[in-house]
């Protein structure tokens, strides 16, 4: 009995081994004639397609784009409501904090703008780095004044810079649209200057005797030049629309006329020794190392971290704060969408002598004079007109564009296969009726009709509903070509012997169509659907480019191009349309090459034609 079981097990193992070899290779190499006889048509198609280097390369590129578009949004999610006006139309590059190496060990001061930084060395030299071109005609680096003497202090605003030399002279350059660069007449006779401040379209100069001189856009910022605290100011800071001061007595005062969130100055702060601001909030540091935050501050800006040592200095960026403690450590808090509040390990493990903070960049100076940076380095593909990172939108837009094309093809394929197969197999009046319907749909001017339908119906819909509408419209209007191909194939196949045999034994018509006929015409459906996928992506891009497709802020490759539909953008901000165009073009070309490869593999004789 045991011997019998042993023989049975040997036979079973031998059979499984043979089956494994037949399925997964290790078989004897056959001649081309034997191979055609043994292999199934499907395996023959795969082998032929695999030998097509062009199609296989296109498949590889498309799969890379597909997986990046599908997985990328999980790694780089975007906030559809996010926009940052200070980062509008920033060119590609990660050089916002690539300071000149000559500044290491020689830093006197650093001022930080939205996309550029200005540094003064202990020798008095002024250096500019980052994206210094702030408009078509204004470049902060090229407008740098000559012969300024030894510069000891700098201030950078939204689009201009102030400099103070050791002799008390003030220099300014940049955008002067609101007069923020035009120095007032009284500065020619004022040499006891203590501090300079540059904000959004405004400039401030503080004298040693506590007097503040304001010039620039007087309508944007609430300021009273006849304030009672004129002549009592030890330090001045500015938000995007307000100015506050710190008196010689350690009191914080608002230097405007209106009542707002900035005037809700906390009580019992004690003697304040330092003051800093973000774009919408204020932070005060008292002599005991306590920090108080008020104004239009977010929850993150109010969450001052606990420190083992007393805070002695505080600085502010556009949405975050940094501070130095007595033991030389740095703390940062506030918004962190550009990692401006995330300290790198090198900063945590170093003893910091000073820190310079502004907008989204930070420069920490160690006791040895080394410069350590963290924050926004730049954008790999640049930003758009609303300051949004194009790389994130390109990846998330790819998922939407590919999904729209895929769903539209699925809808069109289902309708086309059903109509074509029924029409071809049943024939007669059913065939005539279905073909007339297909001709009516096919005769519609596709793009204008889709634009009109999207415009009429889409205005009352949300962005998500509009996406679904685009998918349905593309699917409902693009099935006619496939149904003609399926009908032609079914007409030729339905007269074959196996179909006649199925009818003879009483197989139902539905089973004959879907179990016997369609599997034999699936190759035509596959090729047609692949080519239709590329067409659907192009049509969606065309609709979105013309403003009738998926609406912003939901990104697609098409509406990213729509945002660049402007002669100024095309001429000056090439990155806003080049990258989306390249990715869309590569994706569509790859899909078409894959479709051509499948067609050649299914019908080898087409290569001879």
**209: CATH:** 2.130.10.30
pLDDT at 15 over 50: no
- Determine which of 93-107, 265-279, 367-381, 457-471 has the lowest per-residue pLDDT on average: 457-471
Q: 180: left (phi > 0), else alpha (psi -120 to 50), else beta? A: alpha
363, 482, 505: which is closest to 414 by C-alpha?
A: 482
74 backbone dihedrals φ, ψ, rounded to 5°: -75, -30
320, 363, 336, 325: which is closest to 120 by C-alpha?
A: 363
pLDDT per position as a tens digit, 191-220: 889 999 999 999 999 999 999 999 999 888
**What average pLDDT does this structure show over 250-267?**
92
131 and 194 both lie in a single domain: yes
501 and 556 both lie in a single domain: yes
* pLDDT for residue 525: 83
Which DSSP string do the residues of 313-338 spell out, in sequence order?
EEEE-SSEEEEEETTS-EEEEE--TT
Structural contact between residues 292 and 283, judged by C-beta atoms closer than 8 angstroms? yes
244, 313, 314: which is closest to 280 by C-alpha?
A: 244
| Cα angle 141-146-148, degrees, rounded to a multiple of 5 | 110
Categorize the per-residue pLDDT at 40 as very low, low, confident or very high, splitting at 50, 70 and 90: low
pLDDT at 37 over 50: no
* pLDDT for residue 605: 55
598, 604, 607: which is closest to 49 by C-alpha?
A: 598
**Residue 98 to residue 96: CA distance in whole angstroms:** 6
Cβ burial 129-141 (10 Å sphere, 16+ → b, else e): bbbbbbeeebbbe
Range of the domain at 505: 63-75+390-608
pLDDT per position as a tens digit, 534-582: 888 888 888 777 777 777 788 888 888 887 777 888 888 999 999 999 9
Average pLDDT, the chain: 85
Residue 51 covered by a domain: no
206 and 68 both lie in a single domain: no
pLDDT per position as a tens digit, 308-340: 899 999 999 999 999 999 999 999 999 999 999
**Residue 112 to residue 356: CA distance in whole angstroms:** 8
Residue 485 covered by a domain: yes
3-state secondary structure of 111: strand
Residue spans of alpha helices (H) in 273-380: 299-302, 345-348
pLDDT at 30 over 70: no
Tokens 């005991």, residue located: 288
212 and 132 both lie in a single domain: yes
Angle between helices 480-493 and 428-443 in degrees, nearest 10:
150
* pLDDT for residue 181: 94
pLDDT at 32 over 50: no
* pLDDT for residue 153: 95
411 and 484 both lie in a single domain: yes
* pLDDT for residue 458: 57
Structural contact between residues 359 and 321, judged by C-beta atoms closer than 8 angstroms? no
Domain end, chosen from 218, 244, 269, is at: 218
**Residue 179 to residue 570: CA distance in whole angstroms:** 30
594 backbone dihedrals φ, ψ, rounded to 5°: -65, -45
Specify the long-range contacts of residues 100-108, CB closer than 8 Å, at least 24 apart: 100/127, 100/129, 102/127, 103/127, 103/371, 104/369, 104/370, 104/371, 105/368, 105/369, 105/370, 106/369, 107/354, 107/363, 107/365, 107/369, 107/371, 108/151, 108/152, 108/153
Q: 418: left (phi > 0), else alpha (psi -120 to 50), else beta? A: alpha
Q: Where are the beta strands (DSSP E) in 427-483?
A: none
pLDDT per position as a tens digit, 120-160: 999 888 999 999 998 888 999 999 998 899 999 999 999 99
**What average pLDDT does this structure show over 160-185?**
93
376, 410, 381, 411: which is closest to 557 by C-alpha?
A: 381
Residue 150 covered by a domain: yes
533 and 597 both lie in a single domain: yes
133 and 70 both lie in a single domain: no
Residue 374 covered by a domain: no
**Residue 322 to residue 183: CA distance in whole angstroms:** 31
pLDDT at 17 over 60: no
561 and 436 both lie in a single domain: yes
Residue 296 covered by a domain: no
Domain end, chosen from 151, 185, 218, is at: 218
461 and 591 both lie in a single domain: yes
477 and 584 both lie in a single domain: yes
3-state secondary structure of 175: coil
User: 119 CB contacts (<8 Å, ≥6 apart)?
Assistant: 99, 100, 103, 107, 109, 110, 111, 126, 127, 128, 129, 154
403 and 507 both lie in a single domain: yes
User: 365 CB contacts (<8 Å, ≥6 apart)?
Assistant: 107, 352, 353, 354, 355, 356, 371, 372
Residue 205 covered by a domain: yes
Structural contact between residues 240 and 199, judged by C-beta atoms closer than 8 angstroms? yes
* pLDDT for residue 2: 53
Longest Cα separation, the chain? 118
**Residue 530 to residue 485: CA distance in whole angstroms:** 14
Residue 327 covered by a domain: no
Structural contact between residues 287 and 271, judged by C-beta atoms closer than 8 angstroms? yes
Helices and strands (H and E) in the chain: how many: 18, 21
CATH number for the domain including 587? 1.10.3720.10
Domain end, chosen from 182, 201, 218, is at: 218
Number of folded domains that form the chain: 2
* pLDDT for residue 160: 95
Residue 166 covered by a domain: yes
117 and 71 both lie in a single domain: no
**Residue 271 to residue 262: CA distance in whole angstroms:** 18
pLDDT at 289 over 80: yes
């Amino acid at each position: 009995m045991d011997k019998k079981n042993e023989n049975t097990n040997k036979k079973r193992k031998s059979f499984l081994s043979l089956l494994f070899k037949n399925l997964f290779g290790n078989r004897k190499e056959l001649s081309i004639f034997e191979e055609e006889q043994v292999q199934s048509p499907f395996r023959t198609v795969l082998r032929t397609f695999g030998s097509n280097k062009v199609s296989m390369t296109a498949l590889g590129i498309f799969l890379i784009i597909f997986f990046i578009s599908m997985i990328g949004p999980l790694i780089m999610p975007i906030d559809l409501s996010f926009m940052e006006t200070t980062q509008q139309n920033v060119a590609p590059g990660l050089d916002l904090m690539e300071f000149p190496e000559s500044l290491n060990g020689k830093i006197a001061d650093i001022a930080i703008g939205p996309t550029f930084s200005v540094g003064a060395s202990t020798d008095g030299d002024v250096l500019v780095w980052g994206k210094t071109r702030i408009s078509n005609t204004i470049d902060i680096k090229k407008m740098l004044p000559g012969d300024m003497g030894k510069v000891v202090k700098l201030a950078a605003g939204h689009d201009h810079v102030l400099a103070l030399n050791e002799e008390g002279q003030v220099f300014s350059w940049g955008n002067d649209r609101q007069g923020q660069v035009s120095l007032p007449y009284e500065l020619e006779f004022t040499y006891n200057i203590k501090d300079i401040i540059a904000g959004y379209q405004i400039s401030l100069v503080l004298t040693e005797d506590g007097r503040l001189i304001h010039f620039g856009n007087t309508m944007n910022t609430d300021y009273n030049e006849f304030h009672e605290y004129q002549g009592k100011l030890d330090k001045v800071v500015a938000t995007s629309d307000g100015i506050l001061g710190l008196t010689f007595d350690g009191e914080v005062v608002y230097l405007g006329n209106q009542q707002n969130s900035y005037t809700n100055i906390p009580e019992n702060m004690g003697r304040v020794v330092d003051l800093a601001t973000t774009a919408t909030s204020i932070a005060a540091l008292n002599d005991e190392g306590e920090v108080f935050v008020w104004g239009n501050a977010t929850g993150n800006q109010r969450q001052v971290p606990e420190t083992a040592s007393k805070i002695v200095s505080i600085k502010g960026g556009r949405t975050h704060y940094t501070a130095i403690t007595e033991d030389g450590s740095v703390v940062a808090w506030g918004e962190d969408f550009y990692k401006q509040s995330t300290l790198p390990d090198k900063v945590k493990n170093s003893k910091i002598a000073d820190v310079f903070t502004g907008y989204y960049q930070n420069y920490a100076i160690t006791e040895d004079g080394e410069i350590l940076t963290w924050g926004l380095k730049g954008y790999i593909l640049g930003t758009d007109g609303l300051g949004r990172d194009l790389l994130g939108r390109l990846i998330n837009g790819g998922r939407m564009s590919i999904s729209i094309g895929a769903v539209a093809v699925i809808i069109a394929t289902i309708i086309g296969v059903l109509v074509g197969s029924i029409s071809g197999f049943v024939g007669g009046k059913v065939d005539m009726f279905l073909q007339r319907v297909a001709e009516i749909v096919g005769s519609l001017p596709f793009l204008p009709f889709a634009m009109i339908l999207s415009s009429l119906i889409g205005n009352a819909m949300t962005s998500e509903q509009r996406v679904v509408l685009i998918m349905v419209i593309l699917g409902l209007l693009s099935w006619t070509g496939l149904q003609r191909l399926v009908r032609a194939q079914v007409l030729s196949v339905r007269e074959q012997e196996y179909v006649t045999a199925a009818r003879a034994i009483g197989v139902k018509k539905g089973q004959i169509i879907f179990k016997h006929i369609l599997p034999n015409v699936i190759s035509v459906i596959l090729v047609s659907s692949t080519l239709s996928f590329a067409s659907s992506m192009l049509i969606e891009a065309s609709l979105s480019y013309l403003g009738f497709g998926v609406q912003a802020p939901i990104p697609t490759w098409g509406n990213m191009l729509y945002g660049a539909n402007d002669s100024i953008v095309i001429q000056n901000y090439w990155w806003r349309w080049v990258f989306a165009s390249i990715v869309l073009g590569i994706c569509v070309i790859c899909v078409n090459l894959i479709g051509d490869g499948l067609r050649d593999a299914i019908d080898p004789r087409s290569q001879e034609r």
